[in-house]
Structure 1
């Protein structure tokens, strides 16, 4: 019985070590600061296209909740596509601060 417990404990610890090593190489390291979504993308094509993204995808952007994401889609449907970051200032609730946070994570 004592031998089985030791064996299970070793297997459990081995799994934990494997999990920690896997996470270490899959998540970018930070100094406790917020990480922009772009840190997780490998290529520019992986940015969120504000002219085609649905509400749920837009909600992945920092500072963009459901209300702002719906406002982006509604504005896009009524006025056409966006051509630059500055165009997003037309959306109620999108401030310069939010644009600064998301500018590296979006494309047009």
Structure 2
């Protein structure tokens, strides 16, 4: 009888050990399956990020580069590009170019014309209105030149320069209404003296 009980206990231990071994085997085989889904989740997250970056791609502007550059022509650039980028697309300056007359740090804008004069050449003659007053290009004019516009003193001229530096070049004359101190009536008086390039 004692022998029979001893045999039953040994068999019971064997079954317990087998059950534990089987449980461990099944659990360890399940772990890799769970891990295989992780790279898939990463791939989906990466694809979402790439799609988001594509949507945030900057829009393009078109500029016309003329004068003393190697390859004058019309070029497309990112909206946040600078004049130096447009000159680079035109293969750079020629040996005769007067680089001191070009603001390479200026932001480009759509339909902008960038003219590079040769050394000794005056900048293109300014347009004139019928009453003979000089027209001022407010995107490139100095604070002194801006004060030549009727109704613009030192304070408003400084405000125009500050706005231009913060927001980039003016795209249309009406953008001046965003400058502190310039209203519709004063803009109407100065319109004939302003050009946008």
Band the TM-score falls in, shorter-chain normalisation: 0.5 to 0.7
Normalising to structure 2: TM-score of the pair?
0.33
- For residue 78 of structure 1, what is the aligned residue in structure 2? 166
Residue 52, structure 1, aligned to residue 140, structure 2:
yes
Normalising to structure 1: TM-score of the pair?
0.59
Alignment partner for residue 153 of structure 2, among 50, 55, 65?
65
- Long gaps (5+) in structure 2: 1-127
Structure showing greater relative contact order (alpha-carbon pairs closer than 8 Å, 6 or more residues apart): 1
Give me the whole-angstrom Cα distance separating, in 1, the residues matched to 2:190 and 2:170.
14
Alignment partner for residue 40 of structure 1, among 112, 124, 132?
132
- Long gaps (5+) in structure 1: 1-36
**Equivalenced residues, count:** 68
Secondary structure at 1:103 match in 2:
helix
- For residue 97 of structure 1, what is the aligned residue in structure 2? 185
* Higher percent of residues as strand: 2
* Higher percent of residues as helix: 1
Q: RMSD of the TM alignment (CA)?
A: 1.5
Listed one character per residue, the Cα deviations across residues 44-98 of structure 1 (whole Å, up to 9, x for unaligned) are: xx52001001111100111100000000001101100001111000100001111
Q: Considering only CA atoms, is the larger Rg found in Structure 1 or Structure 2?
A: 2
* Structure 1 stretches of 4+ moved >6 Å: none
Give me the whole-angstrom Cα distance separating, in 2, the residues matched to 1:93 and 1:85.
15
1:104 Cα deviation after fit? 0.9
Give me the whole-angstrom Cα distance separating, in 1, the residues matched to 2:173 and 2:132.
21
